[in-house]
Structure 1
């Protein structure tokens, strides 16, 4: 397979690869996927990334014996000081199982190091049901979370890095004056050392250590008391609502913002992603 830098006029095909990959492997609505592909991989966005010396873009061209499109995979990385970050990696579902994802990851990591990165991390959207296990195949561990804004959507990315790297991970910049805890727990406040949120005059206590994944942000178990002995319900960290219902298969859904439970499991992993 040939790995090379894309041309600006290939943005449309890149979007098609991104769209088909997200549709297959991400727990996102069609509207969310359309918004993200247009925002991150529109013609102007791709052209700007190609011109940006800090950004790395590589595509894989389909080899002999593969019918259809000439582009089968895409990876994007970025150099931030001592860190190189692989922040997007997509393989067209029709071309999976040929080692394309592995080649893209290894090539991007090597290129970032050649450009001066001392360490390389990978970020994976929480809603990506297959990407987490994919990066774990390379010995990387989940070392932190990051909230990003894409096309008006607040989404969570998991940050993966080597377990023996003892340096601060790169983070997205926040708006000036924005508090990290307020960003992670909207509508919540600290009361006598306890994280709480109020609903119709009732105070619920948020259990930080009882977390469930969601497509936009995590859910947290809430309790009626400080001792966390009587469960109240669930709190949505995307919008701050307590209006969270439990549907079939114990799946959570926020009635206010549509954030949904996105549990990851080994059963959801398709190793053809490699």
Structure 2
């Protein structure tokens, strides 16, 4: 078994594994159409090429004698890329249960630390029982939750960190920010990678129950637009975010 970084030649197999993995883990509670749309949007040739070429992203493959069996998709967020966030651990259903996912997670963590992260996070929908059990069994601890939109439904996503780190209420502590005479509450713990700086989740209320939108970490602006594919662009400074997860795509 070899674990290596993906190349442009791996686009087809990455897409195939993502499709099989998402169908196996998410179809029961999200529906087949949502899963199919997600794969088409997140793993087309341009999206995969962008992941491979970006210094802010990490795409690792597990290659066995039978071919590629799994991949992990991660990103660096926060000041100085200090947080390595594992977005997906996709294991082909035929290769589950034999330690492939554990070995991939271990190498992904190592690579994120080697590249400069000092904290590792993992995120998974609460409905995905096996995914949550996997993180818990591998020594991660749930530190919080966040609400995301999938189609016209709201779902809960759990956020995990290494168990060696104490659960931190500051992860989702909201900070009031005034932009053009309007006060919003920004969660700096809920970040998504942008081309120039992270985008942070903004709320209308200090309890974090009424989501406002996205706050640009590059220019402190709320003036941004999201297209039908889930990409965000700040109209003030051009900071951009590509869709990689449910909350990014608003399927």
Aligned mates of 2:82, 2:54 — CA distance in 1: 17
**1:268 — aligned with what?**
none
Q: Which runs of 5+ in 1 are unaligned?
A: 185-215, 218-274
Give secondary structure in 2 for the equivalent of 1:48: helix
TM-score, normalised on structure 1? 0.59
Shift of 1:73: 0.1
Q: Which residue of 2 aligns with 1:171?
A: 190
Q: How does 1:73-84 map to 2 (within 5 A)?
A: 73-80=70-77, 81-84=81-84
CA radius of gyration, larger in? 1
Q: How many Å separate the matches in 1 of 2:6 and 2:13?
A: 10
Structure 2 Cα separation of the partners of residues 19 and 58 of structure 1: 17
* Residue of structure 2 in register with 1:43 after alignment: 45
The aligned counterpart of 2:231 is none
Secondary structure of the residue aligned to 1:171 is strand
Once residues 175 and 144 of structure 1 are traced to their aligned partners in structure 2, the CA distance between those partners, rounded to angstroms, is 14
C-alpha distance in structure 2 between counterparts of 1:6 and 1:29, whole Å = 29
Gaps of 5+ in 2: 172-188, 192-198, 213-245
The structure richer in helix per residue is 2
Q: How many residue pairs were aligned?
A: 182
Q: Greater CA deviation, 83-92 or 3-12? A: 3-12
- Structure 1 residue ranges (4+ consecutive) displaced by more than 4 angstroms after TM superposition: 148-155, 174-179
**Equivalent in the alignment of 1:191:** none
Aligned match of 2:210 = 182
* Alignment correspondent of 1:123: 123
TM-score by length of 2: 0.64
Q: Distance in 2 between matches of 1:11 and 1:18?
A: 11
- Measure how far apart 1:128 and its partner are: 2.0
Aligned partners of 1:73 and 1:101 also within 8 Å: yes
Q: Rate the CA distance shift 1:117–1:151 in 2: closer, same or farther, 3 A.
A: farther
Q: Distance in 2 between matches of 1:162 and 1:34?
A: 32
The 5-angstrom pairing of residues 203-242 of structure 1 reads none
Aligned partner of 2:109 in structure 1 is: 109
Partner of 1:143: 143
Contact 2:84 2:120 in 1 (8 A): yes
The 2-side partners of 1:42 and 1:148 are apart by: 23
